[in-house]
A and B are shown apart, each in its own frame.
Chain A
Amino acid sequence: MTESREDIVLEVHDLFTNFYTFEGTVRALDGVELFLRRGDTMGLVGETGCGKSVTARSILRLVEPPGKIESGKIIYNEIDKQTGEVKPIDILSLSEEELLDLRGEKIAIVFQDPATYPNPVFRIGDQIAEVVLLHQDLRYDVIDMKIEKLEKSLQGESDPDKQVHIKEKIEYYRELRKDPPEPDKKDAKAAAFRRAVNMLNLVRMPSPESIAMQYPHELSGGMRQRALIAMALACDPGVLICDEATTALDVTVQAQVLKLLNHLKKEIGTSIIIITHDMGVVAETCNWVTVMYAGTTVESCATKNLFTRPLHPYTDGLLTAVPKLHENKERLPQILGSVPNLITPPSGCRFHPRCAYATEQCKSVKPKLTELEPEHWVACHNPLN
């Protein structure tokens, strides 16, 4: 995976993460490889327990004890807004303080369960505003807000003397905007709330002003999920990770949220990782896919290649085991068995006990992820053809 860092916003190399549990060491990530191109929407797929969420948490350094990131490299390639230069950030060597900047501002995540987030006791608008307050420079917002207010009062003013006075004030703030001072707390709060309303508007909430005043339990699952996306996007992150963010929703509401993500990507240019086990969701929204199995990356390519020409036996199994809306089959093709326990993972290729193509080599030698065809990476000794 060699490519210029201007094109790639996030890269993960040879990532190992373990959990030291009472039963033994869970080898959850075993050399994960992935990259996300700028502007792409990538699907991260695989069955339960394959390590999708642990990968996402590792990227944000949110793995908590007994879990531990053992080794590997995670690079976020930031583009300096002024100079346009690429600044690689080595996530695994960031300090706790630097991590606070990374989370939210550079990489944001939306989790699966909308019932547990956001915080139930705070109003939606206040919660988003708090995130904004913590991460964003609001000096310009505060001044813009003042100018807006003055302009409004100018419209309603008929007294010419007062008009002149207001105009002078506006001029003053315009001048101040060139190098704005730190705003006081009250102004900053108001500006943050204004941004929150804008974010709710961005995620197409009906009447965002009133939604901002509501509590999470007053919203439906779909609206709560949209509020979460609004919160995640409030700090204009370079990467948005959605971990099964639509899994609990009805197909109708899921379709609404997915369409929203597609629109947002175009509007604000965030790169997106969608973690899902639904191949339909991938086909619908992602232009790139990375398939994981038992803590390893097994295949990575453009979505259309994955669907027309999967090269890894596991990917093929995933695609064929699902009932298709166009088929009338009596029986479904099965992948035998289930995802292995990762305390004692299979040797060699971790898929070998379930693989119809396994050979002796597969039992002892771990296959490397290689670019078998242009732009198509596979980790398998006997790829399909």
Chain B
Amino acid sequence: MSEDNLVQIRELKKYFPLTGGVFRKVIGRVHAVDDVDLDIVRGETLGVVGESGCGKTTLGRTILRLLNPTSGQIIFDGKDITHLGGSELREVRRQMQIVFQDPMASLNPRITIKNSVGEPLVVNGIAKGPRMRDMVLELLQKVGLTEAHLNRFPHEFSGGQRQRICIARALALNPKFIVMDEPTSSTDVSVQAQTLNLMKDLQDEFGLTYMFISHDLSVVKHMSDRIAVMYLGKIVELTPHDIFKEAMHPYTFALVSAVPIPDPRFAGKAAILSGEVPSPINPPTGCRFHPRCPFAQDRCSKDIPELRDMGNGHLVACHYAGTLDFGRSAQQEYADSFDVPANA
């Protein structure tokens, strides 16, 4: 077990029971997170991508023990927290926070910003009264808000400001680890740029470790040191490299190839991954991607591919990783077009 890892999860599973009928019998199970091994290194940002319903949020919430794992092991800061409860669980929870996509939904509309951000301080017996106010003010200033905002209510703020308030609250207990679940999906590009810059500044200042979940692959690339790609509850690729240039799993390659290229010279060049994510209730056998994979062989529908290290900590779960020729994506061509001097 490495000291460098803040989070280590082993064979983690989270199944949701699917009930039906008059007696609400369990008629199936949603394989939301299915046998995930993952290390998150201290101080890094681990990006998580994948299509809707692939289990990103469930993975984040299970690591934080906001959901109880079905099986497997979660080690946080050297301590097995898989089965912790009561005050012990509350204690570790102080060190792990989550920031959601919709800041309005996570702030109580009838409570002032001072009390919202200060709530964790009061609940955990850290500060109250004037001391709490001073600490909240300091937090607000860290995220670019001022004293004038202390006694206002959530509806008096813009979406971007509300997201800052949520970030301030997440920082209140001086956590080590923050899960950012699509923190900028509902904000505009200008606000997104402000929020992303702020998150990087705070990470440097407080030595935070982030798990950064997003649909937007360019944003994830911008924020992350390593990226985990999820498909139907499993991590299919984990890479320290640029996913737009060095994808090794056919799903990752298909995902990055679908990203619209912000350059009209490449209009219509994004490639199409046909079909949609199958139901996680009865996921495909063998490699879960095989029904959509252009490289699938007989073996792929039978054997489950393990995550294998392809060198330099680049992990890929594909039987044929390293032997497949994807060709070049338009996104690669686009990225490469910047390497050439303009007048060459």
Tell me the A residues contacting B by CB distance below 8 Å.
47-48, 220-223, 250-256, 258-259, 262, 277-281, 283-285, 303-304, 307, 317-319, 321-335, 337-339
Contact = CB atoms under 8 A, between A and B. Distances in A.
Contacts of A323: 196, 216, 218-219, 221-222
Contact of A335 (B52, B190, B337): B190
Interface stretch (B109-117, B123-131, B266-274, B282-290): B266-274
A81 B338 CA distance: 48
B335 to A, nearest CB: 4
Interface of B: 51-52, 158-160, 188-194, 196-197, 200, 215-219, 221-222, 242, 244, 254-256, 258-274, 276, 331, 334-335, 337-338
B264 A307 contact: yes
Nearest to B49: A251
Nearest to B276: A220
B262 A338 contact: no
Nearest to A326: B335
18 contacts: A221-B52, A222-B276, A250-B215, A252-B276, A254-B258, A255-B270, A255-B271, A255-B272, A277-B188, A284-B261, A284-B268, A307-B263, A318-B189, A323-B216, A324-B262, A325-B256, A333-B193, A338-B188
Nearest to A221: B52
B146 to A, nearest CB: 14
Contacts, number: 138
Contacts of A318: 189-190
Contacts of B258: 251-252, 254-255
Given A338-B158, A338-B190, A330 B200 contact: yes
Contact of B51 (A252, A319, A327): A252
B338 A334 contact: no
A160 B52 CA distance: 60
Contacts of B266: 283-284
Given A280-B259, A307-B262, A338-B160, A321 B268 contact: no
Contacts of A250: 51-52, 215
A48 B188 contact: yes
B197 A338 contact: no
A251 B158 contact: no
A223 B337 CA distance: 35
A281 B260 contact: yes
Contacts of A317: 190
A321 B192 contact: yes
B331 A339 contact: no
A331 B259 contact: no
A257 to B, nearest CB: 10
A280 B261 contact: yes
Nearest to B331: A325
A48 B192 CA distance: 12
Given A277-B189, A323-B221, A304 B264 contact: yes
